[in-house]
Amino acid sequence: MILNDGKAMDMKRKLKSIFCMAIAVAMGLCVSGCDLQKKGDVKTIGLAMPAKSLERWNRDGEYLKKLFEKEGYNVELRYSDNNTDQQVNDIQVLIADDVDVLLIAAVDGSTLFRTLEDAQIKNIPVIAYDRLIMNTDAVDCYVSFDNYSVGEIQGKYVIDALKADETSESYNIELVTGDTADNNAAYFRNGAVDTIKSYLDSGKFKIPSGKIEAEQTATPGWATDIALENMQNTLASYYSDGTKLDAVICSSDVLSIGVVQAIRSDYNGGNMPVITGQDGDIAALKNIVDGNQSMTVYKNVSDEADVAVSVTKAILEGKELNEELKDTFSAECIFDTQSYDNGNKKVLSYLLTPQVITKDNLDELAETGSYKWDEEHKYLEAAS
């Protein structure tokens, strides 16, 4: 059929408007469909991390976010500037936002129980990440490393490095431990103290400062500058007469970094003491290369995050948290139902195994993908 020009134009216009309406309806369907999918299917994970400025927690936060997003979850990530009130506030916001699971690395594990009552009311499952949350039933699971073994490894390292079992000498050591508000700090400290106890009892190891109790060795906020200042005071009071310092058991790299600084500026002995750490912070790894720190206990953050994501998925799928579940994780860990009592209950725990890093096996860190060598292949840097 041949249409004259006017009729042809009319027909074209009609066809065009029908076509536009069809597109609009299709788009409308898609928008409401996508909305439905967003509201119904895509779960949101609320992540509360202690502080972005602390290398360890920045690494955890960013890695967890990436991993959850890769698995198709929405993520709300909050850092609390290492401030307890700020974290309470952050968690309240996450609860108000109706996140589907809360994953929390507590600034102070003893201050969250009230806030978490609101999570319980809303049936939001809670995973304590790395640090246990105390005095609450609201915690469903704890994902961490075997914290006691971190201290054991440090104590054992010092015994071996000083060759304490092979000589008749005695050695002077000091302890620098973490914030007592962090439940982990006691595990690290106890692991180390139990390991060296027989050496202290026999007089093989002496602590010239006499600082052995938790409150004497603790470092509020795990703050590097407080560790530095405390070590300077210890050196001024007990070592200025030339007393030799053989080792400092530091629970974490954030502490050893301050301790190394104090020793380099204020210690008169000719030796560099054996110094332990934990985490593989870049500045501590540099100290290890330069001979200022002896070792760090490395806890693979990507493994810890992998386990946390798997546990979250299991909870959201209504699976039981048990021994068998760990066989589905990509990282090896133990399922522990007894060790972590938070005052209200024994919290089901999945615990990973830490590893010793010295200057001889730094390559193992590069192999994790979280670090890379600098151009001279001298120091490790964070892999972007």
Are the CB atoms for 55 and 282 separated by under 8 Å?
yes
Instruction: Count CB atoms within 10 A of the CB of residue 204.
Output: 18
**Separation CA 133–CA 123 (nearest Å):** 17
The two structure tokens encoding residue 144: 């961490």
State which residue, 172 or 224, has the beta carbon closest to ligand BGC: 224
Instruction: Count CB atoms within 10 A of the CB of residue 127.
Output: 25
**Separation CA 125–CA 127 (nearest Å):** 7
Minimal distance in Å, beta carbon 187 to ligand BGC? 9
**Separation CA 58–CA 33 (nearest Å):** 36
Minimal distance in Å, beta carbon 212 to ligand BGC? 21
> Which of 73, 72, 77 lies closest to 94 in space, CA to CA?
77
The two structure tokens encoding residue 329: 């994780």
State which residue, 110 or 172, has the beta carbon closest to ligand BGC: 110
Specify the stretch interacting with ligand BGC by CB under 6 A; choose among 111-119, 177-185, 208-216, 329-337.
177-185
Residue 256 interacting with ligand BGC (CB under 6 A) = no
For ligand BGC, what does the binding mask look like between residues 48 and 67, x meaning CB under 6 A?
Answer: ------x-x-----------
Specify the stretch interacting with ligand BGC by CB under 6 A; choose among 24-32, 37-45, 178-186, 327-335.
178-186
By beta carbon distance, the residue nearest ligand BGC is 252
Q: Is the dihedral of CA 52, 57, 58, 62 positive or negative?
A: negative
By DSSP bridging, strand 371-373 and strand 380-382 are: antiparallel
Minimal distance in Å, beta carbon 67 to ligand BGC? 18
Residues 111-140 that bind ligand BGC (CB under 6 A): 130-131
For ligand BGC, what does the binding mask look like between residues 262 and 281, x meaning CB under 6 A?
Answer: ----------------xx--
- Which residues are at the interface with ligand BGC (CB under 6 A)? 54, 56, 130-131, 178, 182, 184, 222, 252, 254, 278-279, 299
